[in-house]
Amino acid sequence: MATSVTHNARTERTVLQHAFNGAWEAVQNHRPTFMALKKRGHIEKGVAGKRLDWTVRVGRNTIEAYDDLQALSFDRKNHYILAQLPWATLAMKGAISRDEIAMASGPEAMEKLHKRMISDMTEDFETRINYQFLRQDGAATGAGNVLHGIPTFIAGSAASASAKKGTMSDTYATHSTAESGLTGVDDAEADAWTPKGTHADATDFTEGGGFNADDAEEIMQYTIDSVTLGSMAKDKPDLAILCKNHLTTLKTAVSAQQRGMVSGTPTGTQGLGIPGALEYSGLECVFDADMEDGKSYVLNFNHIYMELLPVPEIAEGYGGVPGGGKSGKTEYFEVLVDGDIHTNGILARVNFRGQLRFHPRYQAIISNF
């Protein structure tokens, strides 16, 4: 006897909402970048505004010597910049045909179809969002509504064949990242908005042949030192994300010198507790499959955030009519499910509205440029 199958949009939304929240938890539990964001408490929900705005202190007050009874002049100083980025509005979508449902042999088969769609969507979301964190230059896409990942601000070039220090020059959040590139600010520090770059192929390194076993430790230590800007924990890098070749080479180097250890719970103040991390000079070093080959990052997650817009609460049947909605709630995703008479399908859409926020000064790249 045939079994009738019904579709309940409200139920579907609930199922998808839980599935995507679960996917987000999965991202935070085994993707190093999001594990670090979670550990630092830097995933901020419910942020509002037409764009992501934040102020950054880039200048410092000066001191001056004075003589007895000398009159001092007072001037208002501007030591801050306003950083601005557009919000990323991302959608993941899927569909199940009513014909598929009709051919399914009972509710159990329909449930399998749903699970397959949800599984595919959540897995793809996890992969895409992590890839964009590590690989996407948001400004270079030419679109205003995308995630601005690390490549957005960390472009550079080799100063010379011999120089270890790369020349960094880009534009991030409307401001130049070049050294001494900030304008309209009083007493700005030269590197206040400038990331650090290590030219791995520099001949000034011992062997000078790229990230090889003889130079790996020297390159890593040079990069760590370049973004260690003080003695407090917040001024030190806490996570290095290496491509596979770099991490393999570093493991070989530290094993030979017996200076490294593999541990999921580093004991230092910078420890994030990432399973399988190689601890080197107090820094956790990990591999990520989305990391571009030949490049690695040394990062400080005390200065990296993910900001999320609230999910609007719109009453069903009212759309955007006044009184039919609320300002929003603090969820990661907005989930929408509906039937479409034109396509004969049941459609699922998940919206993600947010943006990444970095302080370039505390981040570094290792590259041959």
User: What pLDDT is recorded for position 72?
Assistant: 87
Q: Which domain holds residue 111?
A: 9-56+81-141+307-357
CATH of the domain at 223: 3.30.2320
* pLDDT for residue 110 is more than 90: no
CB of 306 closer than 8 Å to CB of 130: no
Question: Which residues sit opposite 80 in a β-bridge?
Answer: 57
Give the model's pLDDT for residue 276.
Answer: 86
Question: Cα–Cα distance between 93 and 348 in angstroms, integer?
Answer: 6
Give the residue with greater pLDDT, 98 vs 229.
Answer: 229
Query: Domain count of the chain?
Result: 2
Residues 81, 185: contact at Cβ < 8 Å? yes
Does any domain span residue 68?
no
Helix axes 107-135, 9-30, angle to 10 degrees: 40
Note whether 296 and 328 are same-domain residues.
no
Span 314-333, average pLDDT: 54
Q: Is the pLDDT of residue 19 over 80?
A: no
- Assess contact for 260 and 199: CB atoms under 8 A: no
State how beta strands 345-358 and 334-340 pair. antiparallel
Q: How far apart are CA 354 and CA 86, in angstroms?
A: 9
Please give the average per-residue pLDDT across 280-284, as a whole number.
92
Give a yes or no: residue 3 inside a domain. no
The residues near 284 (Cβ < 8 Å, ≥ 6 apart) are 238, 239, 240, 266, 270, 271, 272, 274, 277, 278
pLDDT confidence band for 17 (50 / 70 / 90)? confident
User: What is the separation of C-alpha 368 from the centre of its chain, rounded to a whole number of angstroms?
Assistant: 23
Same domain, residue pair 176 and 296: yes
Q: Tell me whether residue 259 is in a domain.
A: yes
**223 lies in the same domain as 363:** yes
Same domain, 261 and 340: no
Residue 157 lies inside a defined structural domain of this protein: no
Confidence (pLDDT) at 64: 86
Do 363 and 349 share a structural domain?
no
Specify if 148 maps to a domain. no
Residue 65: half-sphere exposure toward Cβ, Cα within 13 Å: 1
- Mean pLDDT on 85-113: 77
Reported as a pLDDT band with limits 50, 70 and 90, residue 18 is: confident
pLDDT interval class at 347 (50, 70, 90): confident
If pLDDT is split at 50, 70 and 90, which confidence band does 344 have? confident
Give the Cα separation of 173 and 182 in Å (integer).
12
Q: How confident is the model at residue 346 (pLDDT cuts 50, 70, 90)?
A: confident
Which of 268 and 63 is assigned the larger pLDDT? 63
In this predicted structure, the answer to whether residue 341 has a pLDDT above a threshold of 60 is: yes
Measured between alpha carbons, how far is 251 from 257 in angstroms, rounded to an integer?
10
| Mean confidence (pLDDT) of the chain | 85
Judgement on whether residues 327 and 228 belong to the same structural domain of the protein: no
- Residue 130 inside a domain? The answer is yes
Identify the CA nearest to 102 among candidates 94, 93, 113: 113
- Would the pLDDT of 351 be above 80? yes
Percent of the chain having pLDDT more than 90?
Answer: 56
Which of the residue ranges 112-121, 301-310, 318-327 has the most confident prediction, judged by mean pLDDT? 301-310
User: What letter represents residue 362's amino acid?
Assistant: Y
Higher pLDDT, 126 or 90: 90
Residue 86 maps to a domain = yes
Single out the residue of 285, 183, 185, 186 nearest to residue 244, CA to CA: 285
Judgement on whether residues 209 and 132 belong to the same structural domain of the protein: no
Residue 75 located in a structural domain: no
Q: What is the pLDDT of residue 324?
A: 40
Q: Are both 259 and 343 inside the same structural domain?
A: no
Give pLDDT, residue 4.
42
Q: Are 134 and 174 within one domain?
A: no
pLDDT in tens, 47-71: 989 999 999 999 988 888 999 999 9
Percent residues over pLDDT 70 in the chain:
83
Shared domain for 331 and 363, answered yes or no, is no
At residue 270 the predicted structure's pLDDT band, cuts being 50, 70 and 90, is low
* Co-location of 299 and 312 in the same domain: no
Rounded to whole angstroms, how far apart are CA atoms 226 and 224? 5
Give the model's pLDDT for residue 319: 47
Are 28 and 129 in the same domain? Answer: yes
